[in-house]
Amino acid sequence: MEHALGMQWEPQRPRILVVACSDGRLQEATDVFLARALGVRQYDRLYVPGGGGALSASGREFIRAGQLRAECRFLVEAHHVDHLVLLFHGPAVGGPAESTCADYRRKQSWANLDQIRAQQEADVRDLLARRSEFAGDAELSIFRFEVSADTSLSVSTMHADSSAPLPSHATA
């Protein structure tokens, strides 16, 4: 069975790569945030448990993190990425525990929500220190989706290169 989509394939690459958690509960929010806040509608995707945090060892995930940094670097180079966006997620202060990233729960099953949030912040510092391993020459922005007690979503900036306007050709 064949399904006609009524659209054409776009030969030009978006030049933006988003590394996000594979948690499907944030898929629509990711698209909305990128479109509304950053003006990005077309982007390459690397969805993996932990999102941007999967690129950091978080204390014991050295092999997996190294492999994912290499995969990210491959995509940056092969797709000529100008801007790399890393996304994290979890509960805001007082937010629901079930919104915690499952990858961080796996890596830190003993940790409370504040400790996991602190680990995500430490992972951002680690990633900034080793950005050449995964980002190449691409500009880098890092954000965290936060779920409040009433389940509303907000996004906080964890890092943004000061000279990092998103490429205009990447917007729709």
Give residue 61's pLDDT: 78
SS (H, E, C) 114-149: HHHHHHHHHHHHHHHHCHHHCCCCCEEEEEEEEECC
pLDDT tens per residue, range 135-171: 999 999 999 999 999 999 999 999 999 755 554 433 3
Six token digits for residue 170: 């990447």
Alpha carbon distance 172, 82 (integer Å): 16
CATH class of the structural domain 16-163: alpha beta
Beta bridge partners of 83: 16, 139
Residue 33 has pLDDT above 90, yes or no: yes
Residue pair 46/79 in contact (Cβ under 8 Å)? The answer is no
Give residue 80's pLDDT: 97
Mean pLDDT value of segment 25-38: 95
pLDDT tens per residue, range 58-117: 867 789 999 999 999 999 999 999 999 999 999 999 999 999 999 999 999 999 999 999
Spatial CA neighbour of 143 closest among 20, 16, 14: 20
Give residue 59's pLDDT: 65
Mean pLDDT value of segment 31-46: 94
Residue 44 has pLDDT above 70, yes or no: yes
Predicted TM-score (pTM) of the model is 0.92
